[in-house]
Structure 1
Amino acid sequence: MQKKVSKDIIEKWLKGWSLSRDLPLPFQYKSGFKINVNDEKQKARYVFSELNDDFFQLANSINEPWIFLKVCASFDDFKDKIPEKWKVQPQGYMMSCVSPMNFSNTILHDDYKLEFEAYNSTFVVKIVTKNNELASIGRVVIVDDLAVYDRISTEINHKRKGLATFLMKELEKIALSKGVSNNFLVATEQGKYLYESLGWELYSLYTSIVIPAEKSKI
């Protein structure tokens, strides 16, 4: 059974998500939160820590495409309670970790070097080749007592070289230097296995639904 999800953590994570992407900060919408993303394929997102009447009211009232509803629940818990116009997206996994993460003897090969940037409350770590080709990148945002990890990715021709693990180690160093050891992120199916190997645990399923453009006229 889905455990109770902290609305406070969801709010902090959403703030970090917004700061990382240089978007407007989330604001409360009834029992959940809303972010105006203003992207062609994601106009806005509503996020709820649990299934409730506010979530279902939106699911029934929204007809516009590319507005996402997101909730800390399994799709099976509500798929029969929403109109068919909504399409489920790939499963997300909210994950948490209290430092330290589990790192083996992780070293960066001589073919690569580190670069650092910062903006808002966001710290960016890049792993690049000697020719300045981007190999891996990730961000950590400090929101009060929470370190929000976001947009962790490795370019396809640089995968399976331990870069993502090394990147996470560098991001954790930044969080610890700020006195923060409570870590949070949302993982894809593929990323989930990496984070589990580093000591992260599942906090909650995170399910997203949207009305695609071709379904919006139904």
Structure 2
Amino acid sequence: MPFDSTAETVRAWVDGWVVSRGAADPVAEPWGFTVDVGHVKHATRHVLTADDEPTVRKVAAEVAAPAVWLKAFADPEAVLSWVGPDWTADDPGWLMHTELRRSATAIPEGYAMKTWVRGGVTRVLVTAAGGSFAARGQVAPTGTTAVVDQVETAAAHQRKGLGSLVMRTLHNAAVDSGASIGILGATFEGRALYESLGWRAQSPLVSLYYGPAA
């Protein structure tokens, strides 16, 4: 494991995520971090490095407000029972990591790929004939670690190697920037792709948003 604890991995993930999304600098809390995101449906997120019931219950009660999100790294069913009925879980996920290495890439016939860097974030876009969207992803290096983010393949272009192409391209960009460890928050659908490329799940990742019933 690249870090001695999940809390250290979470800190590296938060540091890279805010760069990737252009969010405010994370504010350290006794239980984790607060990040101002600034979106209408995602104003603020609270990332908990603590995973015990009393702390999760306390934080959920204190920060409950529309457009607020919680991120926790514990059993999803347990977390849901702790936060109460006004919090809704997003798709289940995992915190994952890997040791980054360069690898060869090959663009499948019929596709084109573009990469660019803005604000230290490398973005990859794969397009199909006529320039239509096929796949994308981005990576934000922060020293020796790099956070892979927003990897997506259009439904019509899945199972054609585009996800692997995007990931390998992001790996190479991160290595070129000096990073040696990759971190990401994986969805259920994405985990298989990442594991096929050597990524390992470190802990569950529970995403919740506040939305009390009318």
Q: Matches of 2:64 and 2:153 in 1, distance apart?
A: 36
Residue 99 to residue 38, structure 1, CA distance change in 2 (3 Å): closer
1:28-70 CA-to-partner distances (Å, cap 9, x unmatched) read 1222101111222212110012324443212123442221111
Correspondence for 2:62:
61
The Cα shift of 1:106 comes to: 5.8
Partner amino acid for 1:50?
A: A
The Cα shift of 1:22 comes to: 1.6
CA contact (8 A) 1:123 1:139 kept: yes
CA contact (8 A) 2:6 2:203 kept: no
The Cα shift of 1:130 comes to: 4.5
Q: Matches of 2:64 and 2:17 in 1, distance apart?
A: 26
Q: Does 1:208 align with 2:201?
A: no
Correspondence for 2:42:
42
Alignment coverage as a number of residue pairs: 210
How does 1:103-118 map onto structure 2 within 5 Å? Answer: 107-118=106-117
Q: Does 1:162 align with 2:166?
A: no
TM-score between both structures, scaled by the size of structure 2 = 0.88
Q: Where in structure 1 are there 5+ consecutive unaligned residues?
A: none
Q: Where in structure 2 are there 5+ consecutive unaligned residues?
A: none
Q: Does 1:25 align with 2:34?
A: no
CA contact (8 A) 1:93 1:205 kept: yes
Three-state SS of the structure 2 residue aligned to 1:124 is strand
Correspondence for 1:137:
136
Q: Matches of 1:113 and 1:81 in 2, distance apart?
A: 47
- RMSD over equivalenced CA pairs, Å: 2.1
Residue 22 to residue 81, structure 1, CA distance change in 2 (3 Å): closer
Q: Percent identity?
A: 25
Q: Matches of 1:202 and 1:208 in 2, distance apart?
A: 16
Q: Matches of 1:78 and 1:114 in 2, distance apart?
A: 40
CA contact (8 A) 1:24 1:36 kept: yes
The Cα shift of 1:107 comes to: 2.7
Q: Matches of 1:116 and 1:83 in 2, distance apart?
A: 43
TM-score between both structures, scaled by the size of structure 1 = 0.87
